[in-house]
Protein backbone atom coordinates (compact mmCIF):
# COMPACT_ATOMS: atom_id res chain seq x y z
CA UNK A 1 0.00 0.00 0.00
CA UNK A 2 2.80 2.43 0.86
CA UNK A 3 4.51 1.63 -2.48
CA UNK A 4 1.25 2.27 -4.36
CA UNK A 5 0.80 5.62 -2.60
CA UNK A 6 4.43 6.56 -3.40
CA UNK A 7 3.93 5.72 -7.09
CA UNK A 8 0.71 7.73 -7.24
CA UNK A 9 2.20 10.73 -5.41
CA UNK A 10 5.23 10.79 -7.72
CA UNK A 11 3.00 10.47 -10.79
CA UNK A 12 0.93 13.39 -9.56
CA UNK A 13 4.03 15.54 -9.10
CA UNK A 14 5.51 14.61 -12.47
CA UNK A 15 2.21 15.05 -14.36
CA UNK A 16 1.84 18.57 -13.05
CA UNK A 17 5.32 19.60 -14.26
CA UNK A 18 5.51 21.33 -17.62
CA UNK A 19 6.36 18.72 -20.20
CA UNK A 20 9.53 18.86 -22.18
CA UNK A 21 7.52 16.87 -24.73
CA UNK A 22 4.82 19.47 -25.23
CA UNK A 23 5.72 19.16 -28.86
CA UNK A 24 4.07 20.39 -31.98
CA UNK A 25 1.80 18.00 -33.87
CA UNK A 26 -0.21 20.73 -35.49
CA UNK A 27 0.25 22.97 -32.41
CA UNK A 28 -0.90 20.24 -30.03
CA UNK A 29 -0.16 20.54 -26.31
CA UNK A 30 -0.17 17.67 -23.84
CA UNK A 31 -1.77 18.74 -20.57
CA UNK A 32 -3.03 16.97 -17.44
CA UNK A 33 -6.52 15.55 -17.97
CA UNK A 34 -8.71 17.50 -15.57
CA UNK A 35 -12.27 16.59 -14.46
CA UNK A 36 -13.68 19.63 -16.27
CA UNK A 37 -12.64 17.98 -19.56
CA UNK A 38 -14.87 14.96 -18.90
CA UNK A 39 -17.64 15.82 -21.39
CA UNK A 40 -15.14 16.04 -24.24
CA UNK A 41 -13.14 13.01 -23.01
CA UNK A 42 -16.38 11.02 -22.83
CA UNK A 43 -17.39 12.12 -26.35
CA UNK A 44 -14.03 10.96 -27.76
CA UNK A 45 -14.38 7.69 -25.85
CA UNK A 46 -17.90 7.19 -27.23
CA UNK A 47 -16.62 7.87 -30.75
CA UNK A 48 -13.95 5.22 -30.28
CA UNK A 49 -16.44 2.72 -28.90
CA UNK A 50 -18.72 3.28 -31.90
CA UNK A 51 -16.01 1.87 -34.20
CA UNK A 52 -16.44 -1.53 -32.56
CA UNK A 53 -12.63 -1.90 -32.56
CA UNK A 54 -11.64 -0.05 -29.39
CA UNK A 55 -13.15 -1.95 -26.47
CA UNK A 56 -15.60 -4.57 -25.34
CA UNK A 57 -17.52 -1.71 -23.74
CA UNK A 58 -20.35 -0.21 -25.76
CA UNK A 59 -21.14 2.84 -23.64
CA UNK A 60 -18.80 5.10 -21.68
CA UNK A 61 -19.20 5.26 -17.91
CA UNK A 62 -20.06 8.32 -15.89
CA UNK A 63 -17.18 10.38 -14.50
CA UNK A 64 -17.24 8.82 -11.01
CA UNK A 65 -16.94 5.28 -12.32
CA UNK A 66 -14.23 6.21 -14.84
CA UNK A 67 -12.32 8.19 -12.20
CA UNK A 68 -12.33 5.28 -9.75
CA UNK A 69 -11.17 2.78 -12.40
CA UNK A 70 -8.10 4.81 -13.47
CA UNK A 71 -4.96 5.82 -11.63
CA UNK A 72 -5.17 9.47 -10.58
CA UNK A 73 -1.94 10.21 -12.48
CA UNK A 74 -0.83 10.23 -15.16
CA UNK A 75 -3.95 11.20 -17.05
CA UNK A 76 -3.13 13.31 -20.07
CA UNK A 77 -5.08 15.15 -22.74
CA UNK A 78 -4.05 16.47 -26.14
CA UNK A 79 -5.19 20.04 -26.63
CA UNK A 80 -5.32 21.82 -30.01
CA UNK A 81 -6.78 25.29 -30.47
CA UNK A 82 -8.41 25.04 -27.06
CA UNK A 83 -10.16 21.71 -27.75
CA UNK A 84 -9.40 18.25 -26.37
CA UNK A 85 -8.60 15.97 -29.33
CA UNK A 86 -7.32 12.89 -27.49
CA UNK A 87 -6.56 11.43 -24.10
CA UNK A 88 -4.60 8.71 -22.35
CA UNK A 89 -4.97 7.26 -18.85
CA UNK A 90 -3.72 4.26 -16.91
CA UNK A 91 -5.60 1.57 -14.99
CA UNK A 92 -3.96 -0.60 -12.36
CA UNK A 93 -3.75 -4.24 -13.48
CA UNK A 94 -3.98 -5.56 -9.92
CA UNK A 95 -4.51 -4.44 -6.35
CA UNK A 96 -1.59 -6.62 -5.25
CA UNK A 97 1.38 -4.58 -4.09
CA UNK A 98 3.87 -6.57 -6.16
CA UNK A 99 2.15 -5.24 -9.32
CA UNK A 100 2.04 -1.60 -8.23
CA UNK A 101 4.36 -0.67 -11.10
CA UNK A 102 2.24 -2.31 -13.80
CA UNK A 103 -0.59 -0.45 -15.52
CA UNK A 104 -2.85 -0.80 -18.55
CA UNK A 105 -3.00 2.00 -21.11
CA UNK A 106 -6.27 3.45 -22.43
CA UNK A 107 -5.79 5.86 -25.32
CA UNK A 108 -8.46 7.46 -27.50
CA UNK A 109 -8.09 10.01 -30.29
CA UNK A 110 -10.85 12.12 -31.85
CA UNK A 111 -11.73 10.71 -35.28
CA UNK A 112 -10.81 14.02 -36.95
CA UNK A 113 -7.34 13.96 -35.36
CA UNK A 114 -6.35 10.35 -36.09
CA UNK A 115 -3.25 9.85 -38.20
CA UNK A 116 -1.78 13.24 -37.24
CA UNK A 117 0.71 12.14 -34.57
CA UNK A 118 -1.54 12.92 -31.61
CA UNK A 119 -1.61 9.32 -30.37
CA UNK A 120 2.17 9.11 -30.50
CA UNK A 121 2.56 12.37 -28.55
CA UNK A 122 0.18 11.12 -25.86
CA UNK A 123 1.67 7.63 -25.63
CA UNK A 124 5.26 8.87 -25.49
CA UNK A 125 4.36 11.37 -22.79
CA UNK A 126 2.46 8.86 -20.65
CA UNK A 127 5.48 6.55 -20.92
CA UNK A 128 7.81 9.35 -19.77
CA UNK A 129 5.60 10.43 -16.89
CA UNK A 130 4.76 6.91 -15.74
CA UNK A 131 8.42 5.84 -15.71
CA UNK A 132 9.38 8.83 -13.59
CA UNK A 133 6.56 7.85 -11.25
CA UNK A 134 7.82 4.28 -10.81
CA UNK A 135 5.70 2.39 -13.35
CA UNK A 136 7.91 -0.31 -14.87
CA UNK A 137 5.49 -2.06 -17.23
CA UNK A 138 2.70 -0.70 -19.39
CA UNK A 139 0.36 -3.09 -21.12
CA UNK A 140 -2.26 -2.66 -23.80
CA UNK A 141 -5.10 -4.98 -24.77
CA UNK A 142 -6.04 -4.41 -28.42
CA UNK A 143 -8.36 -6.10 -30.91
CA UNK A 144 -6.27 -7.72 -33.69
CA UNK A 145 -8.27 -5.77 -36.27
CA UNK A 146 -7.21 -2.42 -34.77
CA UNK A 147 -4.06 -2.18 -36.89
CA UNK A 148 -3.55 1.55 -36.25
CA UNK A 149 -3.45 1.08 -32.47
CA UNK A 150 -1.16 -1.94 -32.74
CA UNK A 151 1.30 -0.01 -34.93
CA UNK A 152 1.18 3.01 -32.62
CA UNK A 153 2.05 0.89 -29.60
CA UNK A 154 4.82 -0.95 -31.47
CA UNK A 155 6.34 2.39 -32.57
CA UNK A 156 6.44 3.38 -28.91
CA UNK A 157 8.30 0.25 -27.82
CA UNK A 158 5.49 -2.17 -27.01
CA UNK A 159 5.90 -5.79 -28.05
CA UNK A 160 3.36 -8.52 -28.65
CA UNK A 161 3.13 -10.86 -25.67
CA UNK A 162 0.32 -13.05 -26.92
CA UNK A 163 -3.15 -13.53 -28.27
CA UNK A 164 -6.13 -14.23 -26.03
CA UNK A 165 -8.62 -16.22 -28.09
CA UNK A 166 -12.35 -15.68 -27.74
CA UNK A 167 -11.74 -13.88 -24.44
CA UNK A 168 -15.07 -12.02 -24.34
CA UNK A 169 -18.04 -10.99 -26.44
CA UNK A 170 -18.84 -7.71 -28.13
CA UNK A 171 -22.31 -7.51 -29.64
CA UNK A 172 -22.73 -11.27 -29.05
CA UNK A 173 -19.62 -12.08 -31.09
CA UNK A 174 -16.63 -13.73 -29.42
CA UNK A 175 -13.51 -11.64 -29.98
CA UNK A 176 -9.78 -12.19 -29.59
CA UNK A 177 -7.44 -9.61 -28.10
CA UNK A 178 -3.73 -9.07 -28.36
CA UNK A 179 -1.70 -8.34 -25.25
CA UNK A 180 1.16 -5.92 -25.83
CA UNK A 181 3.55 -4.64 -23.19
CA UNK A 182 6.36 -2.18 -22.79
CA UNK A 183 8.95 -2.83 -20.11
CA UNK A 184 10.82 0.26 -18.94
CA UNK A 185 14.57 0.43 -19.45
CA UNK A 186 14.79 3.02 -16.64
CA UNK A 187 12.37 1.99 -13.91
CA UNK A 188 12.41 -1.29 -12.03
CA UNK A 189 15.65 -2.46 -13.64
Please tell me what DSSP assigns to residue 92. E
Query: What confidence tier does 189 reach under pLDDT thresholds 50, 70, 90?
Result: confident
Percentage of the chain lying above the pLDDT 90 cut: 83
Q: Which residues, 6+ apart, have CB-to-CB distance to 71 below 8 Å? A: 8, 11, 89, 90, 91, 92, 103
CATH 3.40.605.10 given to domain 2-139: no
Mean pLDDT over 117-145 rounds to: 97
Domain boundaries along the sequence of the chain: 2-139
d(CA 79, CA 30): 6
Q: For residue range 86-130, what is the model confidence (pLDDT) as tens digits? A: 999 999 999 999 999 999 999 999 999 999 999 999 999 999 999
Q: What is the model's pLDDT at position 188?
A: 86
Q: For residue range 63-78, what is the model confidence (pLDDT) as tens digits? A: 999 999 999 999 999 9
d(CA 134, CA 72): 14
Q: What is the model's pLDDT at position 153?
A: 98
Q: What is the model's pLDDT at position 25?
A: 52
Compute φ and ψ for 166, nearest 5 degrees.
Answer: 45, 50
* Tally of CB atoms within 10 A around 161: 12
**Whole-prediction pTM:** 0.85
Instruction: Name the strand (E) or helix (H) holding 61.
Output: none
Q: Give yes or no for a contact between 41 and 84, defined as CB atoms under 8 angstroms apart.
A: yes
Rg (CA), the chain: 16
Least confident of 4-18, 118-132, 157-171: 4-18
Q: Is the pLDDT of residue 38 over 80?
A: yes
Q: Is the pLDDT of residue 18 over 90?
A: no
Q: For residue range 41-50, what is the model confidence (pLDDT) as tens digits? A: 999 999 999 9
Q: What is the model's pLDDT at position 26?
A: 61
Q: Is the pLDDT of residue 8 over 90?
A: no
Cα–Cα distances in angstroms (integers) from residue 119 to residues 2, 6, 70, 97, 131, in the given order: 32, 28, 19, 30, 18
d(CA 62, CA 66): 6
Amino acid sequence: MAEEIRVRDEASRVASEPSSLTRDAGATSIVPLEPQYWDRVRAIYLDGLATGQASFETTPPEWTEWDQAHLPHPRLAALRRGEIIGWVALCPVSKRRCYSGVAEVSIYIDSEARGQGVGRLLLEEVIRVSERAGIWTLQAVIFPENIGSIRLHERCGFRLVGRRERIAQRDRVWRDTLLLERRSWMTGV
